[in-house]
Structure 1
Amino acid sequence: MKISRVELRRIALPLVTPFRTSFGTSLARDAVLVRVVTPEAEGWGECVAMPEPSYSSEYASGAAEVIGRFLLPLLSGEVDAHTAEQRMARVRGHRMAKAALGMAVLDAQLRAAGMSFGSYLGATRDRVPAGVSVGIMTSIAELLDTVDGYLAQGYQRIKLKIEPGWDIQPVARVRERFGDIPLQVDANAAYELADARHLAQLDAFGLLLVEQPLPEEDLRGHAALAQRMTTPICLDESIVSARAAADAIALGATSVVNVKPGRVGGYLEARRVHDVCQAHGVPVWAGGMLETGIGRAANIALAALPGFTLPGDTSASDRYYERDVTQPFELDEGHVTVPAGPGLGVTPDMDFLDEITTAREWLEV
């Protein structure tokens, strides 16, 4: 297929409540959307880079520039998702930018072929269990009320964001109040190996895992921490490719992996991360980056692969947004349905997109 032109669209979609992690607070989903136009079909992609380089070195405006200035010129002529990935590899890094453009190319390719994302990636289920991520709160009482509400909705797993000063006590109170629920924590690299004794206090709570406690480059530190804790260590920011996953497993730095397609450069590489982990007997789960229905559709399809044995951050749309940019994903007995239509299986609401668009640009290939 040949790409004729591409739209880069910046949107600002308000969150229902502020979402706070150890690296900042989000009030809206400020995102770059990518629309690829071909003679056969259009495809959509979503860039997960944040407005500022806090989660990673990438940020939304920079990703948009990289897509338009460096990546898109590589996609002239006949192209599909695999050739697009190979050509974009000429540009160093910028995985989130590559993932967004690659996702749009794959969506267009699959819509033209009448095949769903799930079928293409190798999904084995038509619905997946949904977990929910709970941000850092202003009080324990607020946290307990929030968790209570999500459990009442049927979420299969609770993830608590933690940071120094908001860790042991909140986890203890949630465990005390709600008993033996599937519970895990996410530090977003907020600690150092010197905090190992403090982090080991989490072992008392029977957690599924502690996610990315140390800086992303510190694989040796994670391996050392894994020897001092009984709670499984899960890596997120550290896993930037299938090779990185293999290295982390070999070093003993992780026994669970959070797979985020944007972080590893796209859905083809995300599938390779899944395959590496499955070959080593390491469970994986699908992480989230506050995606709209566009990115959420692809993540849910990925989460239906056989190695995804833990509930992921595949929440319903109303966890984050009063109105999504696609038909909303809804919780059904703690699960969300894998889209079965061609490509992503969802269609953006163009009128609503226009309402929340803050900038847009059409680029010729």
Structure 2
Amino acid sequence: MPRVREVDVFRLVLPYGRRPESILVKLTDHGGMAGWGEVVHPDPKVWGTLEETLAQILIGVDWETPHDLPELGTAADMACWDLATRMTGVPLAHALGGTRTSLMATVRLPAVRSLQSAVDGVNRFVGAGYAHVTVEIHPGWDVEPLRAIRAAYPALAITVDARRAYTEIGQLESLAGYDLSGIERPCDDLDLSAELQSRLSIPVVVEARSLAELDEAVAARAGRALMLRPSLFGSLAAVKTAHDRARRAGWDITCADGRGTGLARAATVAVAALPGCTLPSDVTEPPRNAQIVEPPVGASGGVVAIPLTQPGLGHTVDEERVRRMARDSFALR
């Protein structure tokens, strides 16, 4: 039975891209075992909320599973799951109900400056072993890059991510002629998304940011697949519920989430082991200079192995590196 003795929280600014922020939570029980969690791009209020609430909720409190605890937020909830499954010797993927030993990864190609840059980017991904690429599009950058990529790679599996940028579906409908595997996040309007799905044989992939949004999307027939981002649901129990509801509706599922330090990605990999997650998932590794876990989270030949030989998240955290990278921290005893 976990009984938390100490809570450590770290704020990191990550050394890539626009230098995103990540918050890590470490929970240590009375026997010295630790569980870790992460939230990437946290709401500004998260830091203060954790400082004000975690001690009262967790320290010295007996609990069997994270289901016994009130809402903690993404990072602390993940840390509870990691701690509980490490104590019972069970991989997190199995504790959630996962059945896979590996999964196919997709890799994202952001909008770039030229068609040649797009083709070159895909060439790098294919050379690294990826069999599936997700191409980010927007009005004015859709038909031409797809035509160039498809001409260079006739057999490559391609999904497009419209990032809710479209208000008309005619252009998106025409993209299906490029032998796509799916269209992700076409628009914000569920009725428009449903109309697009009714015209296509490939799945429209809807990103739901809550269980209520998922129920609305299923009722509207806004798609045939769910983009499941664990960080949006606040707890892994809610993520599992979203998976189960989408699966009962007959929807396929792809998993994705912020890259962070590797911890958030590790949790996403565990979720992607669930039986309904049949589509390639965006679990490519964060940059090596940001990772604080061993072994690093990432794909080999476009395939991600589910860490089933170790309990919990299946990765060891380099705490010395965490403390060197931390811009701020606090401890609760």
TM-score, normalization: structure 1? 0.83
SS of the equivalent of 2:73 reads helix
Q: Which residue of 1 aligns with 2:155?
A: 180
Is 1:81 the counterpart of 2:66 in the alignment?
yes
Residue 299 of structure 2 aligns to which amino acid in structure 1? L
Distance (Å, rounded) in 1 between the aligned partners of 2:298 and 2:258? 18
Q: Which residue of 2 aligns with 1:146?
A: 121
Q: Which residue of 2 aligns with 1:207?
A: 180
Identity %: 27
Distance (Å, rounded) in 2 between the aligned partners of 1:191 and 1:272? 29
Shift of residue 252, structure 1, vs aligned partner: 0.6
Q: Which residue of 2 aligns with 1:161?
A: 136
Is 1:287 the counterpart of 2:256 in the alignment?
yes
Q: Which residue of 2 aligns with 1:321?
A: 288
Please list the CA deviations of residues 124-173 of structure 1 after superposition, one character each: whole Å capped at 9, or x if unmatched: 12221121112221222112111111111111310011222222211221
Is 1:104 the counterpart of 2:79 in the alignment?
yes
- 1:3/1:75 contact within 8 Å kept: yes
- 1:32/1:60 contact within 8 Å kept: no
Q: 1:189 to 1:63 in 2, by over 3 A?
A: farther
Distance (Å, rounded) in 2 between the aligned partners of 1:316 and 1:75? 31
Query: Which of these residues, 163, 166, 170, is aligned with residue 145 of structure 2?
Result: 170
- Pairs aligned (count): 327
TM-score, normalization: structure 2? 0.91
Is 1:47 the counterpart of 2:34 in the alignment?
no
Residue 11 of structure 1 aligns to which amino acid in structure 2? L
Distance (Å, rounded) in 1 between the aligned partners of 2:140 and 2:324? 40
Distance (Å, rounded) in 2 between the aligned partners of 1:163 and 1:63? 32
Instruction: Please list every run of 5 or more consecutive structure 1 residues that lacks an aligned counterpart in the other structure.
Output: 16-25, 51-58, 89-96
SS of the equivalent of 2:316 reads coil
Q: 1:63 to 1:296 in 2, by over 3 A?
A: same
- 1:46/1:294 contact within 8 Å kept: yes
Q: Which residue of 2 aligns with 1:8?
A: 9
Distance (Å, rounded) in 2 between the aligned partners of 1:63 and 1:136? 31
Q: 1:106 to 1:330 in 2, by over 3 A?
A: closer
- 2:107/2:134 contact within 8 Å kept: yes
Shift of residue 45, structure 1, vs aligned partner: 0.6
Task: Between 253-262 and 35-44, report the one with greater CA deviation.
Answer: 35-44
- 2:100/2:273 contact within 8 Å kept: yes
Q: Which residue of 2 aligns with 1:133?
A: 108
Q: 1:246 to 1:156 in 2, by over 3 A?
A: farther
Q: Which residue of 2 aligns with 1:55?
A: none
Is 1:240 the counterpart of 2:210 in the alignment?
yes
Instruction: Please list every run of 5 or more consecutive structure 2 residues that lacks an aligned counterpart in the other structure.
Output: none
Please list the CA deviations of residues 57-109 of structure 1 after superposition, one character each: whole Å capped at 9, or x if unmatched: xx44322223333466344522331022xx22xxxxxxxx7122111111111
Distance (Å, rounded) in 2 between the aligned partners of 1:9 and 1:306? 33
Query: Which of these residues, 229, 248, 254, is aligned with residue 260 of structure 1?
Result: 229
Distance (Å, rounded) in 2 between the aligned partners of 1:196 and 1:330? 35
Shift of residue 310, structure 1, vs aligned partner: 1.1
Distance (Å, rounded) in 1 between the aligned partners of 2:317 and 2:26? 11
Q: Which residue of 2 aligns with 1:225?
A: 196
Q: Which residue of 2 aligns with 1:312?
A: 281
Please list the CA deviations of residues 195-254 of structure 1 after superposition, one character each: whole Å capped at 9, or x if unmatched: 212222212112111111212xx3223223323444421111x3422x432331221111
- 1:206/1:231 contact within 8 Å kept: no
Matches within 5 A, 1:16-27: 26-27=17-18
